[in-house]
Amino acid sequence: MLGATPLVTTKWMGEHISTLREERGYTREQLAERAGWSGKSLVGHLEAAVRQFNPDHVAALLPALGRAEHVARYQKLVTDAAGKGEWWRGLLPRDKAERRKLRELELFLSYESSATRIRLYEPYAVPDLLQTPAYAEHVLRVTRPPHAELRRALLPGRQALLCGAEPTELHVVLDETAVRRRVGGKPVLRAQLRHLAARAAQGNVTVRVLPPAAGLPSAEGNFSVLDMPAELDGHPGVAYVRTPRGWVCHERADEVADFGARWERIAAQALPAERSAELITGWAGEPQGDAR
């Protein structure tokens, strides 16, 4: 189901309320008083996304900020987000201390699950969302990232975002070396290439190859740019860089715009989707002795 998750919606609502409050020159305590609440703590918790917004919070805060006309729309927004839920929660540890260590991972999953469009550049390997189980298993064994078992368990749910009645739109630029790198041996690679070609045939997935002749791309490593639903008015989206320890999130509008411009420059140097699909299909069919 397309739409923002509860965490992403709460973060956006919190920033929106904070901006409106500051524009009117209210302190958190003053806004709480205007909303009919005692103390400023609830306003602070909502603005910091510590507490999840519900329809009652919207009904109290927006009129207090002179935005009563938006109450119904924003109430629907937070209600729809609560209905979407967070599919990964049952896979996370129940211990609170362990969960706190996974806060950045949860944020990444929330943004990825909220995205209407993902633009991704990968110079080293086929990205997670398009990996076969055997390919993914070899990547996990070699890279040994933190929480490898959890990442393994999360992968099917993440890849499911590309399927169904309302799939996420995915646009990938892959360096040719990333496509052809022998990960897991020849049979694993060939199966991965066939899978990649099949995924590229989906209407919501575009895969383009960046050939060596394109020269040095205008980026040093992998990154992705995630667009959020239009209902989150003015949301700039987010950009992520994957590191050996996890995903680094960039939320500032200027940073997201910079990553978006970088992706467009790289995509302009990549082969067309049709030619890329032909190459991937051809590499998948190479004899075992010629695969490299």
The predicted structure's pLDDT at residue 290: 42
The predicted structure's pLDDT at residue 217: 78
> What is the pTM for the complete model shown?
0.92
Averaged over successive runs of 10 residues, the pLDDT of the chain (292 residues) comes to 88 96 96 92 95 96 96 95 90 89 93 97 96 96 93 96 94 95 92 95 95 82 96 95 91 97 95 96 71 39
The predicted structure's pLDDT at residue 292: 38
Nearest to 109 by CA among 238, 197, 200: 238
Phi/psi at 242 (5° precision): -85, 130
The predicted structure's pLDDT at residue 244: 85
Q: Is 135 exposed, middle or buried (0-12, 13-18, 19+ CB in 10 A)?
A: buried
The predicted structure's pLDDT at residue 260: 97
The predicted structure's pLDDT at residue 288: 45
Query: What is the C-alpha separation between 277 and 100, in angstroms, rounded?
Result: 42
The predicted structure's pLDDT at residue 271: 97
